[in-house]
Amino acid sequence: METKTEKFKIRLGLFVAGGIALFVVAIFIIGKQKNLFNPVFKLTSNFYNISGLQIGNNIRFSGINVGTVDNIYIINDSTVKVDMSIKKDVQKFIKSDCLVAIGSEGIIGDRLLIIMQGSNDAPLAKDGQKLMSVEPVETDAIMSSLQVTADNAAIISDQLAEIMIKLNSGNGTLGRLIQDSTIAENINQTIVNLKKSSKGLDENMNAAKENFFLKGYFNRKAKAAQKKKDDATELKEDKQKIEEKALKDENK
């Protein structure tokens, strides 16, 4: 009987010791995550809507968790104040013109605060300083915009389907053109005739150039074109000579 009692006491003692050890480890892990054992400094920021942010949510700077949300106050009907606890060793990187935005861990994750990097020449943020905020984009607004886009896409899809049905049935000018082979053959014949007409026009122009009465006109036209080309070349050469002379004078 005494042996059973001793074994029970030993088991109870081990259970209690294990529970205390787990409690201490849990307190240490939670305290480390919430910066209970690290030196911190305070920052604040005001928002119109904190979009589900809660006390204890993480704060990130350059993608790294640097603190937690310490407290949330409702100042008035349009302002919510958020207190932040930031690790002291990060203070040298946070500038007074840094902006604070509300984000989320993944698509449907918990809310968090994101401190954006400030300018290089700005002074460092002091303990208790208020940083400017950026209002978050509400999920409802995004979903509403996506719904409008989806509705418009459905309307366009219906209209395209209606157009394809008319084309396949031969309705409309384009539909008749696709379905009626006679119209296509007429268009092909028209193109052939245009090519023949263009060829005949070229031949007539060549014959006109050889005509005694019109030969002088075409010669004058050719001379005028050549003179224009020569004037452009001469102007370019004169410009080049002037630039070379100016360069020589500058070197002197």
Local confidence band at 219 (pLDDT 50, 70, 90 cut-offs): low
Residue 183, pLDDT above cutoff 70: no
Q: Scanning the structure block, which residue is given the tokens 């002379």?
A: 245
**What phi-psi label fits residue 202: left (phi over 0), alpha (psi between -120 and 50 degrees) or beta?**
alpha
Residue 45, pLDDT above cutoff 90: yes
Q: In the chain, what percentage of residues exceed pLDDT 70?
A: 64
Local confidence band at 63 (pLDDT 50, 70, 90 cut-offs): confident
Residue 57, pLDDT above cutoff 80: yes
Local confidence band at 115 (pLDDT 50, 70, 90 cut-offs): very high
Tokens of 211: 């005509």
Q: In the predicted model, what is the mean pLDDT of the chain?
A: 76
**What phi-psi label fits residue 153: left (phi over 0), alpha (psi between -120 and 50 degrees) or beta?**
alpha
- 104 vs 247, residue with greater confidence: 104
- 174 vs 151, residue with greater confidence: 151
Distance, in Å, from the CA atom of 188 to the CA atom of 146, rounded to the nearest integer, reads 47
Contact 61, 95 (CB under 8 A): no
Q: Is the pTM of this model over 0.75?
A: no
Backbone angles phi, psi at 62, to 5 degrees: 55, 35
- 205 vs 42, residue with greater confidence: 42
- Please tell me the predicted confidence (pLDDT) of residue 202: 64
Distances (CA, A) of 32 to 6, 37, 67, 127: 39, 6, 10, 21
Distances (CA, A) of 79 to 22, 102, 135: 41, 15, 11
- 194 vs 36, residue with greater confidence: 194
Residue 74, pLDDT above cutoff 80: yes
- Please tell me the predicted confidence (pLDDT) of residue 82: 94
3-state SS assignment for residue 19:
helix
Q: b vs e for 117-131, b when ≥16 Cβ sit within 10 Å of the residue's Cβ?
A: ebeeeeeebeeebeb
Residue 14, pLDDT above cutoff 80: no
